[in-house]
Amino acid sequence: MTYLAKPRLHHPSLVPNELGFTRRDYEGSVSTLCAGCGHDSISAAIIQACYELDLPPHRVAKLSGIGCSSKTPDYFLGASHGFNTVHGRMPSVLTGANLANRELIYLGVSGDGDSASIGFGQFAHAVRRGVNMTYIVENNGVYGLTKGQFSATSDKGSKSKKGVVNHDSAIDLVSVALQLGATFVARSFSGDKAQLVPLIKAALSHKGAAFIDTVSPCVQFNNHSGSTKSYDYVREHNESVNRLDVVSPRDPIHVDYAPGTTVQVTQHDGSVLSLHKLSAHYDPTDRIAAMSYLAQRQAAGEIVTGLLYVDPEANDLHEALETVDTPLNQLADQALIPGSGVLAKLNATLR
Amino acid sequence: MSGPLTLTNDFVVKFANVNGSGSASANAMFAKSVLRMGVPVAARNIFPSNIQGLPTWYEVRVTGAGHLGRRGGVDMMVAMNPQTWDKDLAEIEPGGYLFYDSTKPLPASKFRPDITVVGVPLTAMCNTRYSVPRERQLFKNTIYVGALAALLGIEIAVIEQLLAEQFAGKDRLIKANVEALHMGRDYVLENHGPLGLQVRRADGVGDRIYVEGNMAAGLGAVYGGATVCAWYPITPSTSLAEAFTEFCQEYRTDPETGKARYAIVQAEDEIASIGMVVGAGWNGARAFTATSGPGVSLMTEFIGLSYFAEIPAVIFDVQRGGPSTGMPTRTQQADLLGAAYASHGDTKHPMLLPQDPGECFEFGALAFDLADRLQTTIFVMLDLDIGMNEWLTEPFKWDDSRKLDRGKVMTHDELEAGREFGRYLEVDGDGIPYRTYPGVHPNKGAYFTRGTSRNPYARYSEEGSVYVDNVQRLLRKFDTAAQIVPGPVRRDAKKATRTGVIYFGSTTPAMHEALELLEAQGQHVDAMRVRAFPFSAEVYDFIAAHDRVFVVEQNRDAQLRTLIVNEGDVDPAKLIPVLHYDGTPITARFIVKEMAGLLGGAAPSPARKTVPEAAE
């Protein structure tokens, strides 16, 4: 909770980034989540990604819904404006905020209850509108704050801590995002920071609706045998399709991997996504192939992770609406009010 | 009744049509032709929730005296719908007139002996002249307008001019319509004389304009500086968002780049609509949604967030008959309580109550200043009668020296200069804290917005005293609201009286007419029109200064009266409800009948009385 502010003392060995900020400058308040919670690892990954991208923290707006995951924006980017909205409705609030000022970076953090149950509709519509955002679902398959009920991403046949077997089909948010036209779709695991940090960096650099489903075990209510969202289960069934390096426009690209095993994708902002293929034939720019591959591996009981799809030429909602370059919240009165002369002319047509 | 009615510039014509037959534009042209002759009209659509096939009516009150409320009663019925023939005929006042399509002979039993019947073989005329079925249908409407013009003394040149304006640039259409117009006119001149109902050129309209409230409110949002509109289609509010869209395309397109200085999103539902509005408001853009009662019901969780987290938002609620799906194409003022106290917990929200399209424009713009100033949701409460009917109203005006009031927003330079910032900190004694826009400063002014309780510096707190201080400040803010929302308008009786009446919104023209009628009967009543909630002290002073006060409104549960009793701790026995809620606009006749019965000397009764089913 915010009343527990972290001490501002910096260790002298902390290395500043291009903006002169250290990693500590991207932190927030002390987390109040359970020790070992996967969500805290995701917060740490967000901090690391923003630090490495040299983002000015105050140019990020972080928004969330309600739930354990939605509490986390308090625990990173303390210098950013944050908004803990209402349950399942972060996507609409983020959409409105984005319309008001297209220049900020929008980071939406949500959970599986927040996005797959109560907010499934809003998740879907924000994705299909192409809102320029990074949308992270911290997916643990369970309601933590209310103590252990199944969520809509719980796999059919998985067992709750109390031994109840889930009889409903699971919603796979990654498949849904692909189907609805998200232009950046990834899945990762809170326990794999090496994979997660570059994915967040790539998503933040992406112009369009970027979605990352992050399996994030709940140590309290969903980390037992019989769960398909436990640390052990995910480690055993993780099938990573690629390893990603995000190369910012100003850095030289150098590739360590053997020739023919990497794919390079240049995004709108000039950043290069250098993807090391782990699965020989996986092409992350082919949406239909991605959907098909996901369905096949899922049937085989695997959890596919990595950058699953990216459209480097993506457009966002502002382009669709053809809004002016100046953020709408900065337009001056004279750009907004047509004035009395216009009214006089209009009145004349209404008689 | 002796003989046919003889009335000049004071009668009601009602058109009974079939939905989707193209009658709407012909009927509107009829009303406008009377206006162009300088005679005020009050015209209302009475339509079903349907696109094609069901009965629809259009009622035109020709009112030289300028009474813009619905009068009640019909002096002339233009009966174009066989489905509703019997009911339509029964509505005609004794001595009134019936206009009908006489192509197919009807037995005498289908008519009334006490009315004048004017038959014009419209279908036969169309079938002779036109071969395309759609033309036969559409020109029939124009033909009856021509016939009515001849019967009622409307100058044909006025209608020809209206046709020329409507079809500007399409000469072929103008010519065809003028021909149809004359077909109707010529038939009447050959076969019938002018009727006892006559329109005579006058000078009663002045520079007033004729416009729908939804269009005016949409224009108000443009002038109020709204840049984000998120909405979900719902009758009767849809045309408000559509008007905003059209005005923005015309007035808010950057002339150099052709790009939009606005963003309009048709959301997936009303929850997403208000979510987007709240997100945009949080981020410093002026944002609104337009909806009706069912939409407000869905929005309530967000409205509570807006209240507690103090985020500006504007909601235009174009009220319709409720509850539930209710009567979606009928009018009521029945969302007052739902809007005023929308959401869970202790919440209340300012409402603006426009009386006509002129105020829809004025309040539509003002709502955005108030939302920014008060950092909360502002409701603008239209209803179907104002929103979807064209009303004669004062021309739109704008003072070019007026600046948008963005409220208390702390800037980068103020933060840089070291000014203390606490998002929920009381600084000026008016209950309104300062806010910052996201991204304003690298290391000052950021805060975490939440619906949970927090201290003045936006840090999470569940301390009882911190919570109480915060919600008490919100009450002080509501007191500030009472001082800055539009105050009530008084209209005192010519003689001193201990009786008053309070009313609002679309009831206004019927109320004013009723006051004149009561005065003619020797009944003097002081009147007060409330224009906003919370109520200012003047409202309670007015009640205190009278022995009894009627509260006239268009809902079943006396919602305005409830708000007054509740917020002002007013003795309910003093406030006598006069309630009209059958879905039709209230009439002066209804108000006079209700009030006159109670003014007869009977003591005011606190008990809720039964309201007889409203006539027509």
Query: What are residue A109's DSSP bridge partners?
Result: A64, A136
| Count of C-beta atoms within a 10 Å radius of residue A252 | 5
Averaged pLDDT, B178-205: 97
Stretch B330-349: mean pLDDT:
98
Alpha helices (H) along B45-170 = 85-91, 122-129, 133-152, 156-166
- Tell me the average pLDDT across B187-200: 96
Q: Using the predicted structure, report yes or no on whether residue A10 has a pLDDT greater than 80.
A: no
The reported pLDDT for the residue numbered A74 is: 95
Q: Which pLDDT value is given to residue A281?
A: 80
Residue A250's pLDDT is 66
Asked whether the predicted pLDDT for residue B607 surpasses 60, the reply is no
Residues of A in contact with B205 (CB under 8 A): 351
Predicted local distance difference test score (pLDDT) of residue A6: 67
pLDDT tens-digit profile of A238-251?
A: 999 988 988 877 66
State how far residue B179 is from chain A, nearest Cα, in angstroms. Answer: 24
pLDDT of A1 reads: 42
Q: Where do the structural domains in chain A lie, given as residue ranges?
A: 23-330
Contact A340 B460 (CB under 8 A): no
Mean pLDDT of B303-326: 97
Q: What is the mean pLDDT of residues B353-358?
A: 98
- For the segment B575-591, what is each residue's pLDDT rounded down to a tens digit? 999 999 999 999 999 99
Rounded distance, CA A259 to CA A282, Å? 16
Write the single-letter amino acid at B478.
Answer: F
Quote the CA–CA distance of B366 and B383 in Å, as a whole number: 18
Torsion angles phi and psi, residue B98, rounded to 5:
-125, 125
Enter the tokens of residue A328.
């709408």
Domains B211-393 and B489-599 share a fold: yes
- Find out whether A109 and B448 touch, Cβ atoms under 8 Å: no
B272, B291 Cβ separation under 8 angstroms: no
Amino acid, single-letter form, for residue A89: R
Residue range A192-229, pLDDT digits in tens? 999 999 999 999 999 999 999 999 999 999 999 999 99
- Cα–Cα dist B311/B372, whole Å: 8
What confidence tens digit (pLDDT) does each residue in B53-107 have?
899 999 999 999 999 999 989 999 999 999 999 999 999 999 999 999 999 999 9
Q: Is the ipTM of this complex over 0.85?
A: yes
Q: Is the pLDDT of residue B608 over 80?
A: no
For the ranges A49-58, A139-148, B57-66, B171-180, which has the lowest average pLDDT? A139-148
Running DSSP on this structure, what letter comes out for residue A33?
A: S
What's the mean per-residue pLDDT of chain A?
A: 92
Contact A195, A212 (CB under 8 A): no
Would the pLDDT of B439 be above 90? Answer: yes
Asked if A65 is an interface residue toward chain B (Cβ–Cβ < 8 A), one would say: no
What pLDDT score was predicted for residue A260?
Answer: 65
Q: What is the pLDDT of residue B615?
A: 41
Is pLDDT above 80 for B449?
A: yes
Asked if pLDDT for residue A8 goes beyond 90, the answer is no
Residues of A in contact with B38 (CB under 8 A): none
Question: Which residues on neighbouring strands pair with residue B248, listed in sequence order?
Answer: none
Q: Residue B69, by phi and psi: left (phi above 0), alpha (psi -120 to 50) or beta?
A: beta
Poorest-confidence range of A241-255, B102-116, B561-575? A241-255
Contacts of B437 in chain A (CB under 8 A): 101, 329
Domain spans of chain B? 7-198, 211-393, 412-484, 489-599
Query: Which pLDDT band holds residue A344 (cuts at 50, 70, 90)?
Result: very high
Write down the mean pLDDT value for chain B.
95
CB contact under 8 A, B439 and A336: no
Question: Minimal CA–CA distance to B411: which of B443, B435, B376?
Answer: B435
Q: Given this model, what pLDDT does residue B606 score? A: 43
pLDDT at B155 over 70: yes
Cβ atoms within 10 Å of A247's Cβ, excluding its own = 19
The whole-number average pLDDT for the span B131-150 is 95
How far is Cα A229 from Cα A187, in angstroms, rounded to an integer?
Answer: 13
With an 8 Å Cβ cutoff, are A79 and B301 in contact? no
**B166-200 per-residue burial string, b: 16 or more CB within 10 A, e: under 16:** ebeeeeeebebbbebbbbbbebbeeebeebbbbbe
Nearest to B442 among A2, A56, A99 (CB): A56
**Residues 272 to 331 of A: which have CB under 8 A from any B CB?**
317-318, 321-325, 328-329, 331
The residue among B504 and A267 whose pLDDT is bigger is: B504
- Bridge-based pairing state of the strands B489-491 and B575-579: unpaired
Residues of B whose CB is below 8 A from A350: 209-211, 395
- What pLDDT sits at residue A274? 86
Q: What is the CATH number of domain B489-599?
A: 3.40.50.920
Percentage of the residues of chain A whose pLDDT score is greater than 70: 94
Q: Is the pLDDT of residue B613 over 50?
A: no
Q: What is the CATH number of domain B211-393?
A: 3.40.50.970
Q: Residue B486 pLDDT > 90, yes or no?
A: yes
Residue B158 neighbours by CB under 8 Å, 6+ apart: B33, B36, B37
- Interchain contact, A351 vs B448, CB within 8 Å: no
What whole-number distance in Å separates Cα of residue B533 and Cα of residue B562? Answer: 12
Contacts of A351 in chain B (CB under 8 A): 35-36, 205, 207-210
**Given this model, what pLDDT does residue A255 score?**
55
Q: For residues A68 and A111, is the Cβ–Cβ distance under 8 A?
A: yes
- Residues B446, A78 contacting (CB under 8 angstroms): yes
Q: What CATH code would you report for A23-330?
A: 3.40.50.970
Chain-centroid distance, C-alpha B168: 30
- pLDDT average, residue stretch B352-364: 98
Judged against a pLDDT cut of 90, whether residue A276 lies above it is answered with no
pLDDT band per the 50, 70, 90 thresholds, residue A5: low
Structure tokens at B612: 């007889």
User: Residues of chain B with pLDDT > 90: what percent?
Assistant: 94
Nearest-5° angle of CA B241, CA B243, CA B246?
110
Alpha-carbon gap: A130 to the closest alpha carbon of chain B (Å): 12
Q: For chain B, what percent of residues have pLDDT higher than 70?
A: 97
Count of helix runs (H) and strand runs (E) in chain A: 12, 13
pLDDT at A296 over 90: yes
Q: Residues 364-403, chain B: which have Cβ within 8 Å of A?
A: 395-400, 403
B257 touches chain A (CB under 8 A): yes
- Look at residue B539 and tell me whether its pLDDT is greater than 80: yes
At B52, the pLDDT band (50, 70, 90 cuts) reads confident
Q: How far A269 CA sits from the closest chain B CA (Å)?
A: 20
Cβ neighbors of B204 (< 8 A, separation 6 or more) are: B9, B38, B39, B40, B64, B65, B66
**Residue in chain B lying closest to A55 (CA):** B442
CATH of the domain spanning B7-198: 3.40.920.10
Residue in B with minimal Cα distance to A122: B272
What number of residues does chain B have? 616
Which residue of chain A has the CA closest to B36?
A351
Contact between chains at A336 and B452 (C-beta distance less than 8 A): no
The pLDDT assigned to B558 comes to: 98
| Residue-by-residue DSSP string for B544-562 | HTSSEEEEEESSSS-HHHH
The minimal CB distance from B225 to the residues A97, A336, A346 is found for: A336
Q: Which of A325, A278, A328 is nearest to A304 (CA)?
A: A278
Of B407, B306, B369, B379, the C-alpha closest to A83 is B306
The pLDDT of residue A263: 82
**What is the reported pLDDT for A7?**
67
pLDDT-derived band of residue B611, with 50, 70 and 90 as boundaries?
very low
Contact B370, B330 (CB under 8 A): no
Contact (Cβ atoms closer than 8 angstroms) between residue B200 and residue B9: yes
A119, burial (CB in 10 Å: exposed 0-12, middle 13-18, buried 19+):
buried
Which pLDDT does position A253 carry in this prediction? 57
The pLDDT confidence band at residue B47, using thresholds 50, 70 and 90, is confident
Element housing B304 (H / E) = helix B293-309
Inspect the interface and report whether the beta carbons of B208 and A351 lie closer than 8 Å: yes
Query: How large is the average pLDDT for residues A155-163?
Result: 92
Contact B31, B61 (CB under 8 A): no
